[in-house]
Homo-oligomer: A and B are copies of this chain.
Amino acid sequence: MSGWLQVAGLGPGDEDLVTPQVQAALSGATDIIGYIPYVRRVPDRAGLTKHESDNRVELDRARHALELAAKGARVVIVSSGDPGVFAMASALFEALEAGPQGWQDLDIRILPGITAMLAASARIGAPMGHDFCAINLSDNLKPWPIIEKRLRLAAQAGFSMGFYNPRSASRPHQFGQALAILREELPATVPVSFARNVSRPDERIVTVPLGQAREDMADMRTVVILGTAETRQVGRFTYTPRSYPEAS
């Protein structure tokens, strides 16, 4: 048996957002590896071994997956959203680089998925309809001053922004600092959407002007979408026009 390793994006939660490519990978796997809630989304079946691991052990998980594939297993690392966006793909390549040379000959594929920012954007309207950026607000893997600098530059650039991991129990106040920086750089009327559990039955989306956004509107299950000075509301929708005003 020839082993392989695929890192599959399960999307934000709704099974109707899982691509056929990812479903085929899950069907062909002997081993599923990932963070507990993502592994539990994969139905049990004969011949399938599920390896659940805790959050924050991404490198251990990636090494384990590579070891299994090197022994001939057909392994899927499951990731929420898109594996290339603040998820498992980078961790896999970090482990690959640090591991035995032979691992680099393995059959490895990354399977894209619907990332939370774009699933949220679709529910809100089209807030990322112009140029945009995505920033992970967690300072677990980068210094907070870098995040502050990026927020200022992104605001000056006029990007819509998607914020992943805006706030957690161990970092309750940094998101408030981020909002304060954004208020210094942008009009108070710019819409901010808090999208919690996007595409799940308990989805909740709240849009407020930046001037009224508070840090306690976000938690770890929220992706935050910030518009630009050009972002508009029409009916229940929020969208950023394709054209930039100075063009006309």
Contacts and interface: CB of A to CB of B under 8 A. Distances in A.
Copies of this protein, total = 2
A163 B142 CA distance: 25
Contact of A122 (B94, B96, B111, B139): B111
Interface of A: 11, 14-21, 24, 58, 82-86, 89-94, 96-97, 104-105, 108-115, 118-119, 121-123, 125-136, 139, 141-143, 146, 149-150, 153-154, 156-159, 232, 234-237, 239-244, 246-247
A93 B134 contact: no
Contacts of A113: 114
A111 B16 CA distance: 11
Contacts of A109: 122
A244 B143 contact: yes
A243 B59 CA distance: 12
Contacts of A133: 131-134, 154, 157, 159
Given A18-B19, A21-B16, A110 B123 contact: yes
A247 B154 contact: no
Given A123-B110, A126-B110, A149-B157, A93 B239 contact: yes
A149 to B, nearest CB: 7
A232 B92 CA distance: 13
Contacts of A121: 84, 110, 112
A246 B146 contact: yes
Contacts of A136: 130-131
A84 B129 contact: yes
Contacts of A149: 157
Contacts of A105: 235
9 contacts: A16-B19, A18-B20, A20-B20, A92-B126, A131-B133, A133-B134, A141-B242, A142-B243, A150-B158
Given A19-B19, A141-B247, A246-B143, A130 B90 contact: yes
Nearest to A103: B235
Nearest to A12: B112
Most buried by B among A83, A150, A246: A150
Contacts of A20: 15-18, 20
Instruction: Please give me the 4 A-B residue pairs with the lowest Cβ-Cβ distance, nearest first.
Output: A90-B129, A142-B244, A104-B235, A133-B133
